[in-house]
Amino acid sequence: MAGLKKTIIRSGLETLYFSGLHHVLRPVVGGVGAILTLHHVRPARRDAFQPNRLLEVTPQFFEGLLKRLRRSRVDVISLDEMYRRMVSGNFKRRFVCITFDDGYKDLHEHAYPLLKQYEMPFAVYVSTSFPDRLGELWWLALEAVIAKNDRIGLVVNGKDQFFDCASVRQKRELFDDVYQWLRSMKSEDELRRVVRDLCACHRVELVSFARDLCMGWEELAQLSVDPLVTIGAHTVNHMMLKKIANEQVARAEIEMSRAVIEAALGIRPQHFSYPVGDPTSAGPREFAMATELGLKTAVTTRPGVLFKAHRDHLTALPRISVNGEFQQQRYLKVLISGAATAVWNGFRRVSAA
């Protein structure tokens, strides 16, 4: 099913590009700007089983993106400047913001030197448990468990069940099934318990991923003093806020992450990214929370470009995913034009419900 979805998306992007429809539609659906989402920028891995590959692009592809933005007729701006333009209604020039979620080491190693070279501002949203070396990157742990084993056991509906995963195909299918099952759970606590048990049974150290892959406070401090860099908040524990029933707990995830970053870096974040960020992870309650807490902007992963109407929804902003499964510059051209997301959204401009 995941493979079919990728094929359909790729076919749609190819059609929009080679037909020239993205050019035709851009004046209507291009909006005033776009916010790009990235996670990892690092050399390609050779592993056949990479279910999280959508979260990473190569340095070569990323540099190609920066070169394209430099040649284009758009301004690459900071989140503060984006906020100023949205509030003031200054839409004379279209703009792009570059954002990174989670704060991985490869951002510092591979992406940051390129962003410095091309003098382009960017933002990094930090879940504070990651630099504290306590965070649980459960989606990576799930990948590691399946990658290292030919058979795994899970407790499903109170019963022990076992799944073969010797071949790459079996591993991909099992990851997709287990991932969707975990995401369907009503609470994040339940999801985390299952992953912790899975890691314990199969000898995968859950907290090792934050230690090995995420920037520490020292690296974040180096970034924070650069005028090109905006540090944003991303909760304490990378929690899907909509799955937290207690509103005070959800609110604390936002506010405590800002307080921890301020204590560590001397900067109180004014911008926020909802972990996972899709409609099952952040909705009207969370958008209202972010507004009440005084954040200037908050971003989702709902696909879309920005329109003037987003001025009234600054804590429910869409983004364009720079997806590792679609590393072609022509695809990005289609996405930034607004054509692909317009079709995806049924030509609805604002999704804040």
Look up the CATH number of the domain holding residue 285.
Answer: 3.20.20.370
CA end-to-end span of the chain: 27
Do 298 and 165 belong to one domain? Answer: no
Residues 239 and 157 in one domain: no
| Residue at 39 is within a domain | yes
Mean pLDDT for the stretch of residues 91-120: 97
In a domain, 206, yes or no: no
156-215 pLDDT per residue, tens: 888 899 999 999 999 999 999 999 999 999 999 999 999 999 999 999 999 999 999 999
Residue 351 in domain = no
Q: Give the separation between CA 179 and CA 50, rounded to whole angstroms.
A: 13
Single out the residue in 170, 201, 232 at which a domain terminates.
201
Q: What percent of the chain has pLDDT over 70?
A: 99
Looking at the fold, whether 232 and 245 belong to one and the same domain comes out as yes
Domain end point (choices 150, 173, 201): 201
Q: What is the mean pLDDT of residues 124-151?
A: 98
- Work out the number of other CB atoms within 10 angstroms of the CB of residue 84: 13
Domain range holding 271? 2-135+215-344
Q: Is 120 in the same domain as 23?
A: yes
The pLDDT of residue 309:
97
Q: Are residues 252 and 107 in the same domain?
A: yes
Same domain, 85 and 225: yes
Is residue 130 located within the same domain as residue 252? yes
**CB of 93 closer than 8 Å to CB of 69:** no
Would 251 be classed as within a structural domain?
yes
CA angle 314–319–321, rounded 5-degree value = 165
Give Cα 50 to chain centroid, integer Å.
17
Cα 263 from Cα 261, distance rounded (Å): 5
pLDDT at 10: 85
Domain total in the chain: 2
Give the confidence band of 3 by pLDDT, cuts at 50, 70, 90: low
DSSP bridge partners of 37: 99, 321
Q: Is residue 117 part of a domain?
A: yes
Among 58, 54, 61, smallest CA distance to 41 is for: 58
- What's the pTM? 0.95
Residue at a domain's end among 158, 174, 201: 201
262 and 119 in one domain? yes
pLDDT digits (tens, 9 = 90+) for 19-78: 988 888 888 899 999 999 999 999 999 999 999 999 999 999 999 999 999 999 899 999
Encoding tokens for residue 260?
């921890």
Looking at the structure, do residues 277 and 307 belong to the same domain, yes or no? yes
